């Protein structure tokens, strides 16, 4: 741990302000009860149960047509050296506490912005970790006590503890696992604060989830998403060449938390190399799974694997929404999740018991989900290499497999948050929809498998079938069945925000921000930002006046992945746009 706040560049333009630049301390109790503060946005998905829902209703479907741009605020951080066709890394979800916004940009800088005037944003300070290549950092920074926490990526990832009033560094610590355990492992999402802990999820050749002490930054525990020798699930990586060492299973989204059970829920992504299941025989835990971890110890309480030995990149990283629902006439405390395989799963969040799963989009990679086991109908527990659908799973060097697979590998939801409406018993998700074909040219080499080796995409061909369009799906959580859907010209890679005003806010990849009617899904209002969007909207209020804010200027994938090459010419300008009536 290093204490060198002088190394951090701080812009203190707030000195010119006459208003105080402090806000109420963000205690663990406030975070636990964030739903009681609809005027603020204190957590990535507003609350620990990840419902991405706000009780604010001043802006509603009766007046949203009058919504206007209040102001725009540049946050910088665009990498001008990045080729036009590559994605920038502006995918931030801002936090708001009593009129102050905290947001990070594509260079890993975090800024505090005073929003209280209502008609412009005033920079209070900028915390610059001086990282040359910060990498894609998604989600929100963390507020806890009188401090802000954020992490960087790259070759030397670190967590910074920052004084929320001055913007000065209190400490920073390395969060790179020891080289003998794993290399090329860095976070892809921001830190999450729960009680006195900071949760950091890592990606790389072997993923992990770790907890650090918020007071001194010391490591408390680490859970490996690819279990090593002696750990539960290690035997699901068969073969004697050590496929587990490069098994991937990264984490791409921040967790949700259940205080009653003291459990953290994380969705785990694909096994690697994801195109060659014969290289990694077995179920490949904990890839394509949900894991429930004890917050205090990091011990595994339960896991549920959606697709064992996957070859379709069916990572399971969409947000895990926590709510209560009646199942077969009995009340259940459940976790609901839109999965990348095209099914909406409902699982008992205390025990991990599978309850039901139903498709919400076009699916042909499997014939369906077994209602008893929750596994794909083709799954053979005795087989080390699975074949799903009718020759849909990949086989290296055999191009006849893996053709015309639905949904697309980048379709359904990936990183964008869904939203839940308790009054309607309905979950909504926006994403892209379509099909694809894939081929692995030749098998991966089984020799000299080492921790830290990159076994990701070499030799893998991916082709989307036509334009991948945007689609909003509404699911009845009591049954898991699709209630309604709405199609859009461009992918929805922003996320969905639901409010008590009976509105859903979302955005298309081409820059069109929209308000939709929750019941009909009809468009009620729109504004085109003129730049691409890959960040979710939030809402907050100041002195009783409601605002909607969204970070624009980012994209998740190359336009070619969606066959939306027209987006390539759109220039990217990273800004926060704020709307009000």
- Average pLDDT, consecutive stretches of 10 residues, N- to C-terminus, the chain (581 residues): 44 44 90 98 98 98 98 79 51 95 90 96 94 72 97 84 97 79 65 97 84 97 94 94 91 95 96 90 97 98 97 90 94 96 96 97 96 96 95 90 90 88 97 89 80 67 87 97 96 94 96 97 97 94 97 76 78 91 98
Q: How far, in whole angstroms, is CA 82 from its chain's centroid? A: 23
How confident is the model over 10-25, as pLDDT tens digits?
443 333 344 566 789 9
Cis peptide bond prior to 437, omega within 30° of 0: no
CA distance 266 to 349: 12
Phi-psi region of 265 (alpha: psi -120 to 50; beta: other; left: phi over 0): beta
Residue written as token pair 């395989």: 341
CA distance 378 to 389: 7
For the chain, the domains span 33-68+86-94+175-186+200-580
Q: What residues have CB less than 8 Å from 273, skipping those under 6 apart? A: 246, 248, 279, 280, 440, 444, 455, 456, 457, 458, 460
Question: Closest Cα to residue 540, out of 6, 103, 126, 147?
Answer: 103
Strand locations in 225-299, DSSP E? 256-258, 263-267, 289-294
3-state helix/strand/coil string of 79-143 = CCCCCCCCCCCEEECCEEECCEEEEECCCCCEEEEECCCCCCCEEEEEEECCCCCCCCEEECCEE
Question: Closest Cα to residue 421, out of 498, 360, 361?
Answer: 498
Q: How far, in whole angstroms, is CA 147 from its chain's centroid? A: 23
Q: Write b or e for each residue in 58-95: b if 16 or more Cβ atoms lie within 10 A of its Cβ, otherwise e.
A: bbbbeebeebeebbebebebbeeeeeeeebbbbbbbbb
What tokens does 206 get?
Answer: 């072997």
Strand partners, 331: 326
DSSP state of 219: E
Question: Closest Cα to residue 211, out of 291, 317, 296?
Answer: 296
Question: Closest Cα to residue 559, out of 84, 137, 89?
Answer: 84
Question: Closest Cα to residue 420, out of 47, 93, 140?
Answer: 47
pLDDT in the model for residue 184 = 52
Q: How far is CA 299 from CA 265, 268, 296, 302, 303, in A?
A: 12, 16, 8, 9, 11
CA distance 551 to 578: 9
Cis peptide bond prior to 407, omega within 30° of 0: yes
pLDDT in the model for residue 62 = 97
pLDDT in the model for residue 16 = 36
How confident is the model over 229-268, as pLDDT tens digits?
999 999 999 988 999 998 989 998 999 999 999 999 999 9
pLDDT in the model for residue 580 = 98
CA distance 435 to 363: 9
Count of helix runs (H) and strand runs (E) in the chain: 2, 38
pLDDT in the model for residue 571 = 81
pLDDT in the model for residue 5 = 43
Q: For residues 346 and 479, is the Cβ–Cβ distance under 8 A?
A: no
Read out DSSP for 151-206?
Answer: E--SSS-EEEEEETTT--EEEEEE-PPPTTT-SS--BSB--EEETTEEEEEE-SSB
Segment 348-357 long-range contacts (CB within 8 Å, at least 24 positions apart) = 349/258, 349/261, 349/263, 349/265, 349/292, 349/322, 350/258, 350/261, 350/263, 351/302, 352/290, 352/292, 352/301, 352/302, 352/303, 352/304, 354/304, 355/327, 356/327, 356/479, 356/480, 357/480
The class of domain 33-68+86-94+175-186+200-580 in CATH terms is mainly beta
Q: What residues have CB less than 8 Å from 132, skipping those under 6 apart? A: 154
């Amino acid at each position: 741990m290093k204490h060198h706040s002088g190394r951090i560049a701080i812009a203190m333009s707030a000195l010119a302000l006459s208003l105080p630049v402090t806000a109420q301390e963000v205690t663990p109790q406030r975070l636990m009860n964030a739903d009681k503060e609809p005027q603020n946005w204190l957590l990535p998905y507003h609350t620990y149960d990840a419902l991405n829902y706000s009780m604010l209703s001043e802006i509603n479907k009766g007046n949203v047509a009058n919504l206007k741009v209040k102001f725009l605020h540049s946050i910088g951080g665009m990498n001008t050296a990045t080729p036009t066709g590559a994605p920038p890394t502006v995918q931030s979800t801002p936090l708001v506490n009593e009129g102050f916004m905290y947001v990070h940009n594509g260079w890993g800088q975090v800024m505090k912005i005073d929003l209280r005037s209502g008609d412009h944003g005033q920079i209070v300070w900028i915390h610059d970790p001086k990282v040359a290549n910060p990498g894609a950092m998604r989600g929100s920074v963390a507020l806890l006590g009188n401090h802000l926490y954020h992490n960087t990526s790259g070759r030397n990832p670190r967590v910074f503890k920052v004084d929320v009033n001055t913007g000065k560094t209190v400490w920073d610590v390395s969060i790179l696992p020891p080289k003998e355990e794993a290399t090329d492992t860095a976070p892809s999402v921001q830190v999450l604060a729960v009680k006195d802990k900071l949760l950091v999820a890592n990606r790389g050749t072997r993923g992990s989830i770790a907890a650090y002490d918020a007071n001194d930054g010391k490591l408390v525990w680490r859970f490996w998403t690819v279990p090593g020798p002696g750990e539960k699930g290690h035997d699901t990586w068969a073969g004697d060449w050590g496929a587990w060492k490069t098994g991937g299973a990264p984490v791409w989204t921040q967790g949700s938390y259940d205080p009653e059970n003291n459990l953290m829920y994380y969705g785990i992504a694909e096994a690697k190399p994801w195109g060659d299941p014969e290289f990694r025989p077995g179920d490949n835990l904990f890839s394509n799974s949900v894991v429930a971890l004890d917050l205090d110890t990091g011990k595994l309480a339960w896991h549920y694997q959606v697709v064992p030995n996957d070859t379709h990149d069916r990572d399971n990283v969409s947000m895990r929404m926590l709510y209560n629902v009646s199942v077969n006439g009995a009340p259940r405390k459940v976790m609901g999740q839109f999965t990348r395989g095209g099914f909406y799963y409902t699982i008992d969040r205390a025990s991990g018991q599978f309850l039901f799963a139903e498709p919400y989009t076009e699916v042909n990679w499997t014939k369906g989900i077994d209602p008893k086991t929750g596994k794909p109908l083709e799954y053979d527990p005795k087989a080390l290499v699975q074949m799903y659908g009718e020759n849909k799973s990949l086989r290296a060097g055999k191009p006849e497999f893996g053709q015309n697979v639905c949904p697309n590998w980048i379709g359904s939801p990936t990183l964008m948050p869904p939203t839940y409406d308790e009054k309607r018993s309905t979950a909504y998700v926006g994403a892209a929809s379509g099909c694809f074909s894939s081929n692995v040219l030749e098998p991966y080499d089984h020799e000299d498998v080492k921790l830290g080796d990159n076994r990701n995409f070499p030799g893998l061909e991916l082709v989307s079938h036509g334009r991948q369009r945007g689609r909003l799906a509404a699911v009845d959580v009591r049954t898991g069945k699709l209630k309604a859907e709405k199609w859009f010209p461009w992918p929805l890679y922003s996320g969905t925000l639901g409010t008590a005003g009976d509105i859903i806010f979302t955005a298309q990849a081409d820059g069109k921000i929209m308000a939709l009617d929750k019941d009909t899904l009809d468009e009620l209002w729109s504004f085109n930002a003129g730049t691409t969007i890959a960040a979710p909207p939030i809402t907050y209020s100041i002195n009783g006046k409601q605002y909607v804010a969204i970070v624009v200027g980012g994209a998740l994938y190359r336009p070619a992945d969606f066959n939306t090459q027209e987006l390539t010419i759109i220039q990217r300008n990273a800004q926060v746009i704020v709307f009000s009536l």
